[in-house]
Amino acid sequence: MGPLSNTDSDFRAFLERISTDAGPYRMAARNFLLDEGILDARCNSYRVAGAANAHDDRKTWRGRHEQYLEQRVYRKGPGTGVPKELEQADEDLCPETFRFIDSGSPFLYSDQGLHLIRTEELAFVARLSGMPEDRLRRLAQDVVEHGTTAAGFADLDSALRAWTRQIQLRPTFAAFWEDLSALFGDTPDQDADGWADRLRDRLGLAHYDPKARRGPIDILVFRYEVGSLARISELGEDVRALVPPTVLDGNLSEVFCPSPPGAGTGHTLDLGGAFDSLRREVLHPASAFGARHLWRIGTIQAPVDLASLADLRGLHLLWLREQTGVADYAADTDGDLL
């Protein structure tokens, strides 16, 4: 069991109760019981924020959890762009995720040339950049097809900079390029069929659901180097904060599933059930994406089938056990799925 569930016996009892019924946040409660990667300082912070209590109901828990995120994890930002360096003591700009870091996290010392991949919704970027969606779509397509020689390169770069000036300094969920590169060719016309749907599934991005949104969802895919990320000043010049995600780094999620601490990273749950390999996931400080980081523009069209989530979680946990060597992982929380 994870340390967070032991911060308050009544909170643990609350989690155990809702983790076994058919109501909302059943899997989220299991994650809180399971997550072993949370440092003591963050457990204490969650408790002090009033989120680790015997809540009256799920809605109250969700409200307290979201309040914790706003107070400790989601930083507003300076309004002038994403900082190139953060200080852990700066509670105004540095998310709690990076104020308390396990010094043993293996990817802190990643090669700065290592590539990551991040997906953003085009409509979200357009809204915060102040650019109409149609124009942003045209500029992005031009840059994807022609690179730095695209006529719209400078305009797209300006729009992306405007977008990053408006975003909160939230921890950014990212995947490793090499785990997903098989979906893409050297040029867009060489990409795998339905790559946008398959990318969504492999990254576990259940909120990108055209059925729930009542229409296709355009996405921008960014490919970027570890060396482009903001530094944490206390960690040294050559270190970048790549850490495994925990239940305290985002909203309550039925799709997120913690990995054993020894795994080194998180791992996304594949919504398509393609358990041919694990896709690693890390968190890093917000990054200032520009036009040079844009890799692809695509459209998600296939719906998400959450009716099979329990089965997918069971398969994911079995695959985690096999790949990490932790044979009894999640036996106490998810024995009914294994």
With contact defined as beta carbons under 8 Å apart, do 316 and 338 qualify?
Answer: no
Phi, psi (rounded to 5 degrees) for 249: -110, 0
Sheet strands (E) in the chain: 85-86, 115-121, 172-176, 217-225, 231-232, 266-267, 280-284, 294-300
153 — pLDDT class (breaks 50, 70, 90) = very high
Taking the alpha carbons at both ends of the chain, their separation in whole angstroms is 17
Of the two residues 111 and 218, the one the predictor is more confident about is: 218
According to the model, what pLDDT value does residue 143 have? 98
According to the model, what pLDDT value does residue 290 have? 96
Flag whether pLDDT at 161 surpasses 80.
Answer: yes
With contact defined as beta carbons under 8 Å apart, do 25 and 60 qualify?
Answer: no
According to the model, what pLDDT value does residue 122 have? 98
Torsion (CA) 237, 242, 247, 249 in degrees, nearest 10: 50
Whole-number Å distance between alpha carbons of 287 and 179: 21
As a whole number, the mean pLDDT across the chain is 94
User: What integer is the mean pLDDT of 1-9?
Assistant: 78
Number of other residues whose CB lies within 10 A of the CB of residue 212: 12
Strand partners, 220: 120, 297
With contact defined as beta carbons under 8 Å apart, do 324 and 262 qualify?
Answer: yes
Cα 95 versus chain centre, distance: 14
Whole-number Å distance between alpha carbons of 74 and 290: 22
According to the model, what pLDDT value does residue 275 have? 79
pLDDT in tens, 189-243: 999 999 999 999 999 999 999 999 999 999 999 999 999 998 888 887 888 889 9
Any idea which of 19-23, 140-144, 218-222, 255-259 has the lowest mean pLDDT?
19-23
pTM of the shown model? 0.95
Flag whether pLDDT at 154 surpasses 90.
Answer: yes
Whole-number Å distance between alpha carbons of 126 and 136: 7
Strands 231-232 and 85-86: parallel
User: What integer is the mean pLDDT of 279-296?
Assistant: 96
Find where tokens 């010049």 sit. Answer: 237
Burial class for 130, CB neighbours closer than 10 Å (0-12, 13-18, 19+)? exposed
- Over its C-alpha atoms, the chain yields an Rg (Å, rounded) of 20
Torsion (CA) 103, 106, 107, 112 in degrees, nearest 10: 90
Number of H helices, E strands in the chain: 13, 8
255 to 122, 192, 205, 225, 258: CA distances (angstroms)? 22, 25, 8, 27, 10
Whole-number Å distance between alpha carbons of 76 and 73: 10
